[in-house]
Amino acid sequence: MPKQSTIKIEVGLDDGNVPQSIHWNATDSTASEPQLAKAMMINFWDGQEKAALRIDLWTNEMMIDEMADFYYQSFMGMADSFQRSTGETELVDGMKEFAKEFFQKFQEKQRQANK
């Protein structure tokens, strides 16, 4: 039988179904206790429908600057994954440049708002 791994995600909701807590653990993780997260993005590819399916959740504790950093790191991670899976260096460079510009623009908006 092939090896299997299980990832478990528990989302605590308030009365309005807004996430208040996100905990996750995986059978292959070295962590013995569930890990706390302020946000999560999970993407699945439906090959039959040729469509991306997403679950994006964040708690009310997630700060805007954390969200921008989370997106920046996610963009960079997607670029790295695309590089490993396709070898398309030129496209990956463009993705990473976009990620950097996104984060720089966010930081500039934050500086302007704090003046």
Confidence of residue 52 (pLDDT cuts 50, 70, 90): very high
pLDDT digits (tens, 9 = 90+) for 17-33: 999 999 999 998 888 89
The whole-number pLDDT of residue 80 equals 98
E strand or H helix that includes residue 11? strand 7-13
Task: Kindly report the pTM of this predicted structure.
Answer: 0.89
Short-list 33, 37, 32, 29, CA closest to 11: 37
Residue 115 reports pLDDT greater than 90: no
| Full DSSP string of 31-95 | -SSPEEESEEEEEEEETTTTEEEEEEEE-TT--HHHHHHHHHHHHHHHHHHHHHHH--HHHHHHH
E strand or H helix that includes residue 19? strand 19-26
Return phi, psi of residue 33, to 5°.
-115, 155
The whole-number pLDDT of residue 105 equals 97
pLDDT digits (tens, 9 = 90+) for 65-89: 999 999 999 999 999 999 999 999 9
- Look at residue 24 and give its three-state secondary structure: strand
Give the pair of three-digit tokens for residue 18: 């807004």
Percent of the chain with pLDDT over 70: 100
